[in-house]
Amino acid sequence: MIQKAEGNAALLVRSRGALAEIVPALKAAGIRFRAIEIDKLGEKQVVQDLFALTRALTHLADRVAWLAILRAPWVGLSLAEFSSFFEGKRETIWELVQGISKLERFRSVLEPALQNRLRGTLRERVESTWLALGGPACVADAGELEDAETYLDALEKLEEAGEVDFARLAELLDELHAPPDPAATERDLQIMTIHKAKGLEFGTVIVPGLGRAPGRGDAPLMRWKELPDKSLLLAPIKETGSDDEPAYEYLKALDRDAEDTEAARLLYVAATRAKHRLHLLACPRKTMPPKRSLLACAWPVAESVFRGFDISGIENESEKPEVKPFILKRLAAGWTAPAPPPAAAWTAPPEGRDDLQVEFSWAGETQRHVGTVVHAWLQRIAEAQCKGWDAKRVESLRPAFERDLRSRGVPSAGPAVELVVTALTNALADERGRWLLGPHPVALNEHRLRSPGRSFRIDRYIEDAKGGKWVVDYKTSEHKGGGVDAFLDAERERYQAQLDGYSEAMGGARRGLYFALLKGWRDW
Complete DSSP assignment for 141-163: SHHHHHHHHHHHHHHHHH-BTTB
Partners of 35 in the β-ladder: 191
Rounded to two decimals, the pTM is: 0.54
Cα distances from 9 to residues 38, 257, 271, 280, in angstroms, run 17, 32, 13, 14
| Residues 25 and 208 sit within 8 Å (Cβ to Cβ) | no
Give the per-residue pLDDT at 51: 92
Burial of 133 (0-12, 13-18, 19+ CB in 10 A): buried
Q: Which fold does the domain 41-175 belong to in CATH? A: PCRA; domain 4 (1.10.486)
Q: Which fold does the domain 365-523 belong to in CATH? A: Lambda Exonuclease; Chain A (3.90.320)
Partners of 463 in the β-ladder: 442, 469
In angstroms, what is the C-alpha Rg of the chain? 29
How many beta carbons lie within 10 A of that of residue 263, not counting itself? 21
CA atoms 329, 332, 334, 338: torsion sign: negative
Partners of 520 in the β-ladder: 515
Cβ neighbors of 459 (< 8 A, separation 6 or more) are 352, 375, 378, 379, 445, 446, 472, 473, 474
Per-residue pLDDT reduced to its tens digit, 33-50: 877 777 777 878 888 999
* Side chain identity at residue 2, one-letter code: I
Stated as kind and residue range, the H or E segment containing 391 is helix 391-396
Per-residue pLDDT reduced to its tens digit, 85-111: 888 888 898 999 898 888 888 988 888
CA distance 469 to 462: 6
Residues of the chain with pLDDT under 70: 1-7, 118, 160-162, 177-186, 215, 217, 241, 284-287, 308-365, 407-409, 411-413, 450-455
Rounded to 10 degrees, what is the CA torsion of 450, 454, 458, 461?
Answer: -50
Give the per-residue pLDDT at 265: 85
Give the per-residue pLDDT at 355: 39
- Strand 33-35 relative to strand 9-13: parallel, antiparallel, unpaired? unpaired
Give the per-residue pLDDT at 431: 92
Give the per-residue pLDDT at 52: 92
Give the per-residue pLDDT at 318: 46
Burial of 153 (0-12, 13-18, 19+ CB in 10 A): middle
Strand, helix or coil for residue 205: strand
Parse the chain into domains and list their residue ranges.
9-36+185-211+274-306, 41-175, 365-523
Give the per-residue pLDDT at 338: 54
Give the per-residue pLDDT at 502: 85
Give the per-residue pLDDT at 217: 67
